């Protein structure tokens, strides 16, 4: 890597490769802007900061036999702050991007015009991905993942996924896919731990699978159709699918989970613990029936909590503006401190425990373990979750 100083007080270093890249691993904070230059002979990276000490921490290299750009960082001896911007100019489109930064992807950087390609966008650690493709997206598989309060936002006038569309949001992450029209053979939406998935537009789906858990929410709106759907909502989660008309659907809810669907054919359902299945607009041709007692199971089993609703409930995503292509303030801490990038949390220093403290902790751990074993023997397992 080479280094330069540009006025006023901006430090830069560059890195380049002639290898054709398959993906980008952006394991740094700050802001990253990725552009395309199909006629170039190399992929060029420019790292800019107003702090030479911070700039020295950012490392660029080729990973996986040079097929991935790997941006990482070293740890400073003392807390180091400054502004950071990374500019990447690709000479060929890539199919994989994983980032912890605010990442702006320009048109042409992703292999979204090849119906045989698998494209993955993944954001974590409060990072973000912004991608808008006015030419449309046509791929074999498309996977969008957001975790740890991160965001993945993709918009296009038309989406065509030959095999599988996967949208996953975890730990307060948000995945938003907006397409005026979309044709998808198989679509799966997963929202867990207060994560949220938004699939916006007029969607034509073969098989739709939705799994919402632990206050997560999956929203498919404002219109569309599917041949069959398999839906699960549990632990205060919501599956908001009333906008998409499915022929048949199986829906399972539990622990105050709520699923809203629109079904014309057979609706099969299972509900537990103050949860509900709501069918919107029209009554399905076949509703779940009360299960009668049998010789093997003489206990009467009531009909699942399946009710009609006149309200199509869903949460619409408020599209975020693309970030400015300017540096953003970040802060790095020494390896032996616990903190978050960007000054979002106060650094907590760690001290070596005394002998007395270590002994007390060990004794407490043994007591808790013995108590847990005693309770397990006396009560037995309450339940076992089947994966």
Domains of the chain: 1-133+322-376 (2.160.20)
Average pLDDT of the chain?
A: 87
Which among 159, 122, 163 is positioned nearest to 143, based on CA atoms?
122
- What's the pTM value of the predicted model, to 2 decimals? 0.83
- The pLDDT > 70 percentage for the chain reads 81
**Tokens found for residue 121:** 């966008």
pLDDT higher at 39 or 172:
172
pLDDT reported for residue 148? 98
Average pLDDT of the residues in 351-373: 44
124-128, 145-149, 317-321, 373-377: the lowest-pLDDT one: 373-377
Three-class secondary structure of residue 55 per DSSP: helix
**What is the C-alpha separation between 22 and 65, in angstroms, rounded?**
11
pLDDT exceeds cutoff 80 at 95 = yes
**What is the C-alpha separation between 216 and 289, in angstroms, rounded?**
29
pLDDT reported for residue 295? 56
pLDDT exceeds cutoff 60 at 91 = yes
Q: To which residue do tokens 């005394």 refer?
A: 354
Give the containing element (helix H, strand E) for 337.
Answer: strand 337-338
Per-residue pLDDT tens for 207-254? 999 999 999 999 999 999 999 999 999 999 999 999 999 999 999 999
Per-residue pLDDT tens for 178-204? 999 999 999 999 999 999 999 999 999
pLDDT exceeds cutoff 80 at 131 = yes
pLDDT reported for residue 366? 52
Q: Could you give the count of Cα atoms lying within 13 Å of 85 in the half-sphere of its Cβ?
A: 15
236-250, 271-285, 358-372: the lowest-pLDDT one: 358-372
Per-residue pLDDT tens for 101-114? 999 999 999 999 99
CB 218 within 8 A of CB 242: no
62-71, 118-127, 352-361: the lowest-pLDDT one: 352-361
pLDDT exceeds cutoff 60 at 362 = no
pLDDT exceeds cutoff 80 at 374 = no
DSSP 153-178: EEEEEEEEEEEEEEEEEETT-EEEEE
**Tokens found for residue 48:** 């800019």
N- to C-terminal Cα distance for the chain? Answer: 48
pLDDT exceeds cutoff 60 at 367 = no
Cross-strand pairs, 80: 332
């Amino acid at each position: 890597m080479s280094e330069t100083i540009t006025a006023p007080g901006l430090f830069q270093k560059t890195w380049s490769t002639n290898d054709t890249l398959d993906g980008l691993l952006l394991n740094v904070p700050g802001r990253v802007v990725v552009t395309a230059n199909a006629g170039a002979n190399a992929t060029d990276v420019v790292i800019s900061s107003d702090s030479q000490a911070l700039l020295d921490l950012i490392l660029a290299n080729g990973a996986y036999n040079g097929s991935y750009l790997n941006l990482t960082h070293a740890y400073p001896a003392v807390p180091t702050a400054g502004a950071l911007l990374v500019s990447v100019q690709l000479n060929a489109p890539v199919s994989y991007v994983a980032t912890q930064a605010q990442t702006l992807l320009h048109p042409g950087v992703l292999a979204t015009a090849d119906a045989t390609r698998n494209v993955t966008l993944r954001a974590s650690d409060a990072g973000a991905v912004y991608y808008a493709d006015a030419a449309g997206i046509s791929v074999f598989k498309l996977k969008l993942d957001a975790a740890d309060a991160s965001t993945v936002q993709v918009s296009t006038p038309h989406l065509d996924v030959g095999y599988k569309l996967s949208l996953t949001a975890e730990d307060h992450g948000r995945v938003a896919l907006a397409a005026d029209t979309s044709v998808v053979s198989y679509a799966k939406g997963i929202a867990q731990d207060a994560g949220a998935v938004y699939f916006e537009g007029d969607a034509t789906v073969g098989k739709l699978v939705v799994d919402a858990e632990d206050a997560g929410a999956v929203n498919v709106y404002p219109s569309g159709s599917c041949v069959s759907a398999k839906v699960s909502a549990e632990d205060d989660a919501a599956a908001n699918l009333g906008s998409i008309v499915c022929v048949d659907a199986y829906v399972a809810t539990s622990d105050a989970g709520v699923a809203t669907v629109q079904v014309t054919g057979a609706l099969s359902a299972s509900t537990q613990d103050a949860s509900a299945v709501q069918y919107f607009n029209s009554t399905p041709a076949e509703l779940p029936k009360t299960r009668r007692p049998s010789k093997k199971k003489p206990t009467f089993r009531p009909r699942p909590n399946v009710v009609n609703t006149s309200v199509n409930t869903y949460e619409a995503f408020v599209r975020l503006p693309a970030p400015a292509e300017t540096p953003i303030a970040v802060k790095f801490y020494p390896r032996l401190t616990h903190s978050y990038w960007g000054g979002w949390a106060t650094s907590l220093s760690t001290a070596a425990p005394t002998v007395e403290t270590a002994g007390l902790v060990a004794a407490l751990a043994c007591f808790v373990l013995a108590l847990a074993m005693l309770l397990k023997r006396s009560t037995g397992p309450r339940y076992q979750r089947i994966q």
